[in-house]
Amino acid sequence: MGTEDTTKPGAFFPAENADFISEFIKEDLKSGRFSYVHTRFPPEPNGWLHIGHCKAFYIDFTMAEKFGGKCNLRFDDTNPEKENVSYVDAIKRDVKWMGYDWEDREYYASDYYEYLYDLAVKIIRKGRAYVDDLSEDEISEYRGTSADRRTAGKSAVAVTPPGRNSPYRDRTVEENLDLFARMRAGEFADGAKTLRAKIDMAHTNLLMRDPVMYRIRRETHYRTGNAWCIYPMYDFQHPLSDAREGITHSLCSLEYEIHRPLYEWFINEAGVFPSRQIEFARLNLSRTVLSKRWLLQLVQGKYVSGWDDPRMPTIAGLRRRGYTPAAIRSFVSQIGIAKTDSMVDIAFLEYCLREDLNKHSRRVMAVLRPLKLIIENWPAGTTEELDAVNNPEDESAGTRKTPFSGELWIEREDFEEVPPPKYFRLFPGNSVRLRYGYIVTCTGFDKNDAGEITAVRCTYDPETKGGNAPDNRKVRSTIHWVSAFHAVPIEVRVYDYLFNAERPMEAASRPGGSFLDSLNPNSLEVIPSAYAEPCLADAQAGDRFQFERLGYFVRDPDTQEGRPVFNKTVGLRDTWAKIAKNK
Ligand code: ATP
Ligand code: MG
């Protein structure tokens, strides 16, 4: 852990380590079920990708790479109400940013409408599908489940009594073919008819009780426009799209396990390439929600500034927060591939992030809550250029010059008029080391009429340049600073978790509850007037830094009233080590 090269996709994947998906694939290659490996990542373009999707496409791309195969990017876009091209663009950008390349294998389920239609006709001809006139509500009532449980995951396996056959179930093949063609031709109103698979209305898996294959919806699709007024349902479309692309292993999260019999049923009945579905545990992360549906609600309700708000668990949000692709890959590879769902502590994600940032970020100084420090014996009007190390973890990062003068900004909390016990920073009579600079001794302070401290006064010792204490003086603290004459004003945004609850979704399952119940009202703190070393004036959006003693920060694309904005990515202190120790 921690020493591998995380800069390459898949680099973290423990090749010798037996995960169950690799084992299945190996068996399939050995038995001759497949002679090659081809996977796909199938996002629905109805929102931006989140870190759960990173786990999914990490597995898809890595399995392909590991077995010398390929991985397609396929937009699973058969739900016109919710999909649009801006989501397609965001998804492509984010997968690329994560370091994955689907080359020219970019596919759209909506390109398969004609192919899917033909297969539906084939299934009708076999007598295994029929056109139904029941309404959606009637269908679920006949099925023996209430409307709100129709799409529920595991609860679909039920002890409920057998359902009832639809009165339209025994239509002849000819009649079904005719009605289905007329559904396509737009002869019927939305919802007036559906095409259903003829499976078994007494099946213990409710999803197998004659699932809907097509519904009528007069919606403009972002790719096919108004060419179609019938749209295929996921359970019918997905396996057949996989088959069409020659996908050998269709890897997906655990909630699709219950859909697998249906996946196989459609492949069999359509007589197409026998893609195999394998499920893995979904990523759940504490203190956040991982579902586009909930994330969309946060965006639409303006609880966040957008899909890329730095508090969002989306790839774009993480990027804007200062996360690196390497840190995210390191995280998804280390959490492993399991068959049972679990919750991952967000502190572990932050641990992976710090590991990476510590190695690669440039150190600079910035002061978030400034207090003036006046050096009374500094030669008036002079500036000195001090040498500062850019990254102690990486010698090649070199050094820089940073200006030092008779007036500095220091952190307000680095001075106390009356020091509490064990306080070793500035207070009258005490000395501290200024990072890269001199030892200074506090001689006093100024207060305004309101009793607020407006400046701290001190003297410096010219003999202590670079922090030397020639006479073995005991100086117990080093504080950071910026030269008041040279510092650039910046805005800093400090974030806390979006939710106070470990599992915000738990509230949603209580009557009258909502995942919004535990929304943290203090998840964003804006510090409008902080100061940074002059070199930060040139920082480009996305540049990452360690502000010494404060944490890791990234230059945001925003500028506020001429001040460049920096986001706090994560603090320096690692809470994961502590949590892991107590486990
Ligand atoms: P969401 O609930 O976020 O909308 P989804 O499953 O509806 O998720 P899709 O765009 O359909 O989103 O998902 C694309 C792929 O990503 C699927 O194979 C799905 O299994 C996988 N996936 C989605 N969320 C997670 C997650 N939290 N952990 C692992 N894989 C996930
Ligand atoms: Mg989905």
| Domains of the chain by start residue, with CATH | 19-280 (3.40.50.620), 292-362+490-582 (2.40.240.10), 366-480 (2.40.240.10)
pLDDT tens figures, 370-426: 999 999 999 999 999 999 999 999 999 999 999 999 999 999 999 999 999 999 999
Instruction: Look up residue 498 and give its DSSP letter.
Output: S
Among protein residues, the one with the nearest Cα to ligand 1's atom 30 is 56
pLDDT at 579 over 80: no
Q: Which residue among 253, 293, 335 is best mutated to probe the pocket of ligand 1, counting the most ligand atoms within 8 A of its Cβ?
A: 253
* pLDDT in the model for residue 575: 75
Which pair of tokens denotes residue 337? Answer: 């591939």
Q: What distance in Å separates the CA atoms of residue 260 and residue 521, rounded to the nearest whole number?
A: 41
Portion of the chain with pLDDT greater than 90, in percent: 88
Contact 436, 387 (CB under 8 A): yes
- pTM, whole model, 2 decimals? 0.93
C-alpha distances in angstroms, 146 versus 150, 173, 184, 255, 512? 7, 30, 29, 19, 19
Q: Report the nearest-CA residue for atom 13 of ligand 1.
A: 43
HSE (side-chain half, CA atoms, 13 Å) at 163: 28
* pLDDT on residue 222: 98
Closest Cα to residue 374, out of 450, 460, 475, 447? Answer: 460
| Residues that are catalytic | 44, 282, 292
Binned at pLDDT 50, 70 and 90, residue 330 comes out as: very high
pLDDT given at position 305? 97
Residue 291 alpha carbon to ligand 2 centre in Å? 9
What confidence score (pLDDT) does residue 583 get? 61
How far from 329 is each of 124, 253, 303, CA to CA, in Å?
Answer: 45, 18, 28
Q: Is the pLDDT of residue 138 over 60?
A: yes
Does 573 have pLDDT greater than 90? no
Whole-number Å distance, alpha carbon 379 to ligand 1 midpoint, is 63
Dist. CA 44 → ligand 2 center (Å): 6
Q: What is the pLDDT of residue 133?
A: 98
Kindly give the distance from the C-alpha atom of residue 79 to the centroid of ligand 2, in angstroms, as a whole number: 10
Q: Is the dihedral of CA 533, 534, 538, 541 positive or negative?
A: positive
Query: Which two three-digit tokens encode residue 119?
Result: 């297969």
Choice between 354 and 573, residue whose per-residue pLDDT is larger:
354
Burial class of 305 by CB neighbour count within 10 A (0 to 12, 13 to 18, 19+): middle
Q: What is the pLDDT averaged over residues 474-479?
A: 93
Q: Name the token pair of 295.
A: 């994330």
* Mean pLDDT computed over 6-27: 67
Quickly list H helices, 444-573: 504-508
| Cβ proximity of 444 and 391 under 8 Å | no
CA 265, CA 210: separation in Å to the nearest integer?
A: 11
Instruction: Name residue, tokens 């002679």.
Output: 35
- pLDDT score of 362 more than 50: yes
What is the predicted pLDDT for the residue at 11? 42
Whether 215 shows a pLDDT value over 90: the answer reads yes
- From the CA of 253, how far away is ligand 1's center (Å)? 7
For 56, which DSSP code?
H
- Please state, in angstroms and rounded to a whole number, the distance separating the CA atoms of residues 310 and 256: 30
Ligand closest to Cα of 109 equals 1
Nearest-atom number in ligand 1 for the CA of 291 is 3
> If you measure from the C-alpha of residue 43 to the centroid of ligand 1, how many angstroms do you get, rounded to a whole number?
7
Output 510 or 105, whichever has higher pLDDT.
105
Among 46-60, 66-80, 95-109, 156-170, the minimum mean pLDDT is found in 156-170
The answer to whether the CB of 544 falls within 8 A of the CB of 360 is yes
Eight-state DSSP code of residue 4: S
Atom number in ligand 1 closest to CA 251: 18
Query: What pLDDT is stored for residue 474 in this prediction?
Result: 84
Tell me the CA–centroid distance for residue 385 and ligand 1, in Å. Answer: 53
pLDDT attached to residue 15:
46
| Atom 2 of ligand 1: nearest residue by CA position | 291
41-63 per-position pLDDT tens digit: 999 999 999 999 999 999 999 99
Q: Which of 116-125, 126-135, 144-153, 353-362 has the lowest mean pLDDT?
A: 144-153
Ligand 1 closest atom vs CA 50: 3
Q: Which ligand ends up closest to the CA of 257?
A: 1
Cα separation, 265 vs 268, in Å, equals 5
194-206: pLDDT as tens digits: 999 999 999 999 9
Q: Are strands 551-560 and 563-570 parallel, antiparallel or unpaired?
A: antiparallel
Task: Look at the block and give the residue holding tokens 């959006």.
Answer: 541
Q: Strands of 399-487 (E only): list them.
A: 399-404, 407-411, 431-434, 439-447, 453-460, 478-479, 481-483
Which of ligand 1's atoms lies nearest the C-alpha of 295? 3
pLDDT over 50 at 230, yes or no: yes
> Atom 17 (ligand 1): residue with closest C-alpha?
252
pLDDT of residue 159: 59
Q: In terms of DSSP H, where are the helices of 473-522? A: 504-508
Pocket test for ligand 1, best of 46, 49, 53, 235 (most atoms within 8 A of CB): 53
In DSSP terms, which residues pair with 441 in a beta bridge? 431, 459
Report which protein residue has its CA nearest ligand 1's atom 23.
53
For residues 389 and 393, what is the distance between their CA atoms, to the nearest angstrom?
Answer: 10
Pocket around ligand 1 at a 6 A CB cut-off: 42-44, 52-53, 55-56, 76, 252-253, 282-283, 290-293
Average pLDDT over residues 71-77: 98
Rounded to the nearest angstrom, the distance between the alpha carbon of 46 and the centre of ligand 2 is 8
Residue 531 DSSP SS3: strand
Cα 88 versus chain centre, distance = 16
Across-strand partners of 408? Answer: 373, 483
What confidence category does residue 338 fall into, taking pLDDT thresholds of 50, 70 and 90?
Answer: confident
Q: What is the pLDDT of residues 523-559, one digit of tens each?
A: 999 999 999 999 999 999 999 999 999 999 999 999 9
Mean residue pLDDT of the chain comes to 93
CB atoms within 10 A of CB 56: 20
Which residue's structure tokens are 């009202």?
521
Query: pLDDT grade, residue 473 (50/70/90)?
Result: confident
The maximal CA–CA distance of the chain, rounded, in angstroms, is 102
Amino acid identity, position 242: D
Which bound ligand lies closest to the C-alpha atom of 293?
1
Token pair, residue 456, equals 């701290």
Residues near 75 by Cβ (< 8 Å), separated by ≥ 6?
Answer: 42, 43, 44, 45, 88, 91, 107, 108, 109, 110
Tell which wins on pLDDT, 257 or 15. Answer: 257
Measured N-to-C along each axis, helices 260-270 and 234-244 cross at an angle, to the nearest 10 degrees, of 60
Q: Name the phi and psi angles at 525, rounded to 5.
A: -120, 125
CB 487 within 8 A of CB 534: yes
φ, ψ of residue 79 to 5 degrees: the values are -130, 75
Question: Which residue is closest in CA terms to ligand 1's atom 8?
Answer: 291
Using the 8-state DSSP alphabet, how is residue 534 labeled? G
Instruction: Give the position, in ligand 1's atom list, of the atom nearest the Cα of 255.
Output: 20
The answer to whether residues 270 and 119 touch, using CB atoms and an 8 Å cutoff, is yes
C-alpha 442 to ligand 2 mean position (Å): 62
Q: How confident is the model at residue 157 (pLDDT cuts 50, 70, 90)?
A: low
Backbone Cα Rg of the chain: 30
Residue identified by tokens 């409920």 is 160
Ligand nearest to the CA of 282: 1
Which atom of ligand 1 is the closest one to the Cα of 256?
Answer: 20
Atom 3 in ligand 1: residue holding the nearest Cα: 291
Give the residue carrying structure tokens 């579902």.
291
For ligand 1, atom 27: residue with the closest CA: 52
β 283-285/453-460 pair status: unpaired
Residue ID of nearest Cα to ligand 1 atom 4: 292
β-strand 488-495 against 563-570: which pairing, if any? parallel
